[in-house]
Structure 1
């Protein structure tokens, strides 16, 4: 009876610990603005099925895609066996499904097939794990050794890979010793090849080893669940909602700023200016902090796998410029975490000066710590972006760093009047001539007519 009680306590403790951190992440995502225009649609469901579940975009790099698929499928299918382990842990039974299906050769055969399939996938996942470790630490692929990957990001990637090795080891220790105890009754494919190694070992020792494997397996799963929200591997969960709510506009189509759009409309139709409602609120152009982002954009930051495909395809980064689209997403996530921690600690020194006398609780509405996203992302990075959408095309889970870069640049230019002299010259000619070239519309029309006449 001690076993089930201990298991229940560990299960509840894991659930409580995980709930707290997952709630922290969800609250941070809600720091952003609701996108009123984003609605469920068949196309969103298609993206979720094809991109998140089907790994469609991963296969642009076949080798890496196959290795990732091995780990991904093993993770999904192993959850089936996990159901039995949880039931066994809570009831104190042993392989409850096998016992239930006594007398049914078909169901027991299906059980053997399912566990054997999981074992084959586990071997494939193990091979993929060693390959991933080699790519990161021995081959040191360029996208894995960028400056933003120093410190925790590198350690995080390695920790989960080492955990995968321990998890697979525990699975085979559990299954092979169980097979040895029951004289290969279960018939698991891979474990039947391992169980002969335990010949001559006493049943008492085998039982202890089986329990070590069983507890090691489930504890590693619990650790993994609690660790996910601290890690880039949160994409295992967030890839699904992120692809569902990803923007459906054509690549390269930039969102209009409502206030500017209304001004242009009034210039084209002066009567519209009198019909439009007058707002007393001073509009804010672009984005300066996480509060100005859409919730989906913050969720994208937490979804980022840090695979570096965006950065490896970025022409600005490839030519030695400071911009790394991956770092942009990591910076947004770090800023959201910083704000979230301050809110949790109720650091009242960060309450906006105008509202300090009204409340003693720090909230997203009165938050002002004197910092913005520009304390994380430099103007040099933002100006290096060519808006080519290579990063958007490369991302396997439909993350769009370009949208955030564009909004930050809009804030720099329209709110802070911070743009290079070359850009200012272009802005002036657009304002005066309706085009970036220093020719009047009449001169351009005359030139076009001359070209047509010459033909």
Structure 2
């Protein structure tokens, strides 16, 4: 009864803290402006099934795709076993599903074991790729000590959780063979049976190992659950809604600003009355000028570096990194949320996403080619943030680079980007 009581307290505290952290993330996301992404629900469900569930964009890098698939499928399916662990923890039972499921239970446990080994092996390979092979896309100015450590913490945690699961089953397997107490014969252990000979022979030591690994496994999962909102691994939860609410327009299509559209309509039709007279900022200076979808994308970013690795500006040595754009957006949003928690929603810190986090050099290095958008495995769009910040610089501050200002002047005066007047356009065709 004491162990059940302790388990219920730990479970309740973990669920409460997770709910509190998720509510804070939701609050932060909703600081963004409203945007309607409710159109074409059938197409959105199809896209989510293909990209988020089916991992269709991962296959462009086959090695990473296969390893990620093992981790993705294995971790999701193995966590079905967590349901049994929780029921056992609450009611003091042991392998509660063994009786009702009969022979199917053995097949399930055997499958869980194989998947657990694949998850463990894949995470070891991922660790080697990051820390020994040191793939280039895992480096960059934005990949400071914390992002690198965060990735390693996640991989090490998954390795430990899978090792605990297999060790727990190995001890259980030996206890079943010894017919100790409630350890009735149940399950199939193709992987942990290979570990079993390494464990002690005594029933007391085996019970201690089985219980110790049981507690480590479930507490580790609950701790990992509460680590998610602080980690790039939050994409486990946000990838699905993020893909569902993807922008279904053609890549690179600019959105019209309602305030500008109203001015044009008023010029064409003096009787036109706009629906709203609200004066809004042109473009984006801080995260609150972005839409809630942009902010959701910032929390969804996996920091995998696929966007930066295909960015032509970054490849040629320019300062721009699309991954950094998303990480900076998230960092600024977290900072803003912390300010609200400490000082209230009306607090201002005299900082902004522009200049304090993202430099103008980064913005103007972008070629707007959409390579980053195409490469992202969860349909994040750094280009929207870049173009909206450019819009602010041009329309609010009139601080576009000289080359662009020249082009704007030529467009206004000559109807074309070039300095020649319209009357001189066909001079090239005249015979000398």
TM-score normalized by structure 2?
A: 0.94
Partner of 2:387: 406
- Take 2:43 and 2:272, find their aligned partners in 1: how far apart are those partners? 36
Partner of 1:166: 160
1:53-107 Cα distance to aligned partner (Å, 9 max, x none): 1111001111100011110001110121111000000000000111x33xxxxx3
Matched, 1:70 2:70: yes
- CA positional deviation for 1:377: 0.4
Change (3 A) 1:273 1:324: farther
Task: Find 1:283's aligned residue among 272, 280, 283.
Answer: 280
Partner of 1:236: 236
Contact 1:113 1:188 in 2 (8 A): no
Partner of 1:44: 44
Task: Find 2:406's aligned residue among 425, 439, 442.
Answer: 425
- CA positional deviation for 1:125: 1.1
Matched, 1:197 2:198: yes
Partner of 1:246: 246
Deviating more after overlay: 207-216 vs 180-189: 180-189
- Take 2:111 and 2:210, find their aligned partners in 1: how far apart are those partners? 20
- CA positional deviation for 1:416: 1.2
**Matched residue SS, 2:271:** helix
- CA positional deviation for 1:258: 2.2
1:169-184 to structure 2, matched below 5 A, reads 169-183=163-177
Contact 1:392 1:398 in 2 (8 A): yes
Q: Which runs of 5+ in 2 are unaligned?
A: 178-184
Contact 2:110 2:187 in 1 (8 A): no
1:28-177 to structure 2, matched below 5 A, reads 28-36=28-36, 38-39=38-39, 41-98=41-98, 100-101=99-100, 107-177=101-171
Contact 1:308 1:326 in 2 (8 A): yes
1:310-349 to structure 2, matched below 5 A, reads 310-345=307-342, 347=343
Task: Find 1:388's aligned residue among 366, 369, 376.
Answer: 369
- CA positional deviation for 1:189: 1.5
**Matched residue SS, 1:10:** helix
1:198-244 Cα distance to aligned partner (Å, 9 max, x none): 3x611111011000111111011001100000000000000011001
Matched, 1:309 2:306: yes
1:372-387 to structure 2, matched below 5 A, reads 372-374=352-354, 375-387=356-368
1:92-140 Cα distance to aligned partner (Å, 9 max, x none): 0000111x33xxxxx3221111111111111111111111111111111
Q: Which runs of 5+ in 1 are unaligned?
A: 102-106, 348-361
Task: Find 2:351's aligned residue among 367, 371, 383.
Answer: 371
- Take 2:117 and 2:275, find their aligned partners in 1: how far apart are those partners? 66
- Take 2:102 and 2:204, find their aligned partners in 1: how far apart are those partners? 26
Partner of 2:182: none
User: RMSD in angstroms over aligned alpha carbons?
Assistant: 1.9
- CA positional deviation for 1:447: 6.5
1:11-22 to structure 2, matched below 5 A, reads 11-22=11-22
